[in-house]
Amino acid sequence: MHKALLLIVIPLLSYGFWLSDEFKGIAAGVSIFLFGMLSLEQGFKAFTGGVLERILQKTTDTRWKSFGFGFMSATLMQSSGLVSVITISFLSAGLLDLVAGIGIIFGSNLGTTTGAWLIAGLGLKVNIATYAMPLLVFGVLCIFQNGKQLKGIGYILTGLGFLLLGIHYMKESFEYFESTINLAGYAMPGVKGLLTYTALGIIATIIMQSSHATMLLTITAVSVHQITYDNALALVIGANIGTTVTAIIASFGANIQGKRLAGAHLLINLFTGIFVLLFIKQFGVAVDIISAKLGIAVSDNAMKLATFHSLFNLAGIILFFPLINQQVMLLEKIFIEKRPAIFEPKYLDMSAMDFPETTVESVRLESIHLYENAIHIILHTFGLHRYDLQNHDSLQQLIEQNNDPIEYDIDASYEKRIKGLYSAIIAFISQAGFTWEMTQSSKLSWLREANKHLVEAIKDTKHLQKNWIRFRTSSNQAAINEYKKIAYQIVLHIQQIENFRHEIEGNELPLLSLDALKATIKEDDMLMNRAIEALIRERKITPETGSSLINDSSYMRSIKKNLLKAAETLFLHSSGNGGVEQQLSLNETEINNVVQTVDTK
């Protein structure tokens, strides 16, 4: 799509340069303005190493808070496109729900109108080039510094400088343009003009990928009477519809929620545009009344255009903001989520890689997906299902009573449920940028290790399965009982991890639960080995059977330790106090001391 636009735009621009020197100035002004927008976005991205993400999570728990975040972020960044990309990224990573995402879009629509007020109220009335020069100088100085935040500030200052410089060039060029060619001669009145210039506004915004640039062109042109006020209103409507293309493009690499948000952005702006077109005369009267109240001169079409821009988006909020839940229901019917095969990644979207926090959260959620598949395999190895974990008092009874042959192909399940997910997670972590702060890189390293522990747990289960199947049909009841005890301890451990997981969700400090599980693994291993030694001494099992039991007891201990290490990273480190909890929890030596102390009493 972008290449096709280039093939069309480059010849048209070249022809325009050949026709008019003033056109070169206008095109240069737009280019400088767009470069300023890119610099501004680059600067704000420097502050997305966790700060912006944490603010977003804390300020989007209600739809009005989401609206406020969208408004403030679009006002500060002067880019609804960047806000859309951030929102889609967080939505794809599961850090936001669709209701919050739509609330942010409403807020950014209104927040982006502040740019029109700045252009019309300041940019066209003073020589803003004098303010642009110091911003560029200080901005470049900051960019050449080593600190990430200083570089970010430098890009922001440079971006603001280029924005002001672009406005200046366009204003000057349009004024010279007026003396040679009068574009107002191409004005189209009535419905035909409304539809034609709305379409032009959409096309211009799609080409420049910036509604701000279209607004700048429109406001500067109307200020020097190069286009009529009525046609300028239609261009504003087109710019608001065309700006949704940025979100649509960003959603291509997102999951179904990201696509739904892009669809919501399009529907909101499109239907708001249609509504305003139908009542354009009434909106014109409303703008005149508001302008008179604000002291805006009747002839100041630039300021009236900024007023219309705000009124346009405010109308969309009044019409559709109360219907967010209905919009979510409609979007879920339009964008139907295909139920993915269980072995396909659910959260590893390329759009999540735009920001460190969303990358980490996507990997964590996918790792939990892998954890749940690993639990499925281990439970099925012993003839149980996930729902059996809810029977707190009957797990042992289920294992004791189940004497039917259990033929479960762990290799096939590993290929289906684990291998593809594990490979995708490792590849995703490898592709993620490591220029972030150490915090995010450390979290990805922990998650990589957590996935490795899960794979090791499944491999240990496979080693254990051979003797588990053989001794379940043995004539030696003592051996059967010990193997059922091994199965019970593994399944009970999984149940305890699930309880630990719910404690995390309940916002309790689960240190005692975590340390108790660690101590239990060591203690159970000691008791199991003593029981096996006693059975050998009492000649209830042969030394060969005892040797197999000791080896399989070692596999049991390894399975439990690997599952707990994975759970510690996936569920404990993801909480806000993960680092503190990790320091406070007992280490291996302390666990051994506790077990030995208990054992000697």
Share of the chain above pLDDT 90, in %: 12
Residue 248 in any domain: the answer is yes
Per-residue model confidence (pLDDT) at position 375: 93
- Which of 40-49, 176-185, 441-450, 466-475 is predicted with the least confidence, judged by mean pLDDT? 176-185
Q: Decide if pLDDT at 240 tops 60.
A: yes
- Which of 220-224, 403-407, 412-416, 535-539 is predicted with the least confidence, judged by mean pLDDT? 403-407
Q: Which of 340, 331, 367, 319 is nearest to 97 (CA)?
A: 331
Per-residue model confidence (pLDDT) at position 598: 42
Instruction: State the CATH number of the domain containing residue 421.
Output: 1.20.58
Do 314 and 405 have their domain in common? no
Per-residue model confidence (pLDDT) at position 583: 46
Angle at 512 between CA 394 and CA 94, to 5 degrees: 80
Per-residue model confidence (pLDDT) at position 453: 94
Number of domains in the chain: 2
Q: Decide if pLDDT at 576 tops 60.
A: no
Residue 8 in any domain: the answer is no
Per-residue model confidence (pLDDT) at position 557: 92
Per-residue model confidence (pLDDT) at position 506: 47
Do 318 and 363 have their domain in common? no
Q: Decide if pLDDT at 516 tops 70.
A: yes
Residue 10 in any domain: the answer is no
Do 275 and 379 have their domain in common? no
CA distances from 571 to 421, 501, 507, 521 (A): 19, 6, 11, 19
Residue range(s) defining the domain that contains residue 320:
20-334
Calpha distance 217→232 (Å, rounded) = 10
Residue 341 in any domain: the answer is no
Residue 342 in any domain: the answer is no
The residue with greater pLDDT, 204 or 21, is 204
The residue with greater pLDDT, 193 or 126, is 193
Do 374 and 327 have their domain in common? no
* Mean pLDDT value across the chain: 78
Find the length of the chain: 601
The whole-model pTM stands at 0.66
CA distances from 522 to 429, 461, 501, 516, 593 (A): 33, 18, 21, 10, 11
Per-residue model confidence (pLDDT) at position 601: 47
Q: Decide if pLDDT at 553 tops 80.
A: yes
Calpha distance 243→326 (Å, rounded) = 23
Residue 206 in any domain: the answer is yes
Per-residue model confidence (pLDDT) at position 581: 46
The pLDDT of 416-422, averaged and rounded, is 89
Do 112 and 250 have their domain in common? yes
Q: Decide if pLDDT at 71 tops 80.
A: yes
- How many CA within 13 A on the CB side of residue 521? 25
Tell me which residue has tokens 């252009």: 119
Q: Decide if pLDDT at 328 tops 70.
A: yes
Per-residue model confidence (pLDDT) at position 594: 44
Calpha distance 562→371 (Å, rounded) = 11
Q: Which of 102, 63, 65, 98 is nearest to 83 (CA)?
A: 102
Cβ–Cβ < 8 Å for 239, 278: no
Domain final position from 269, 299, 334 = 334
Cβ–Cβ < 8 Å for 171, 220: yes
Q: What is the pLDDT of residues 141-150, one digit of tens each?
A: 988 888 777 8
Do 523 and 376 have their domain in common? yes
Q: What is the pLDDT of residues 111-138, one digit of tens each?
A: 888 877 776 665 555 555 677 788 888 8
Judged on CB neighbours under 10 Å (0-12, 13-18, 19+), 69 is buried
Do 55 and 190 have their domain in common? yes
- Banded pLDDT at 408 (limits 50, 70, 90): confident
Instruction: Indicate if the alpha-carbon torsion angle 111, 115, 117, 121 is positive or negative.
Output: positive
The pLDDT of 194-206, averaged and rounded, is 85
The pLDDT of 19-46, averaged and rounded, is 70
The pLDDT of 236-259, averaged and rounded, is 79
Cβ–Cβ < 8 Å for 328, 98: yes
Per-residue model confidence (pLDDT) at position 4: 60
Do 324 and 402 have their domain in common? no
Residue 339 in any domain: the answer is no
Backbone angles phi, psi at 393, to 5 degrees: -100, -5
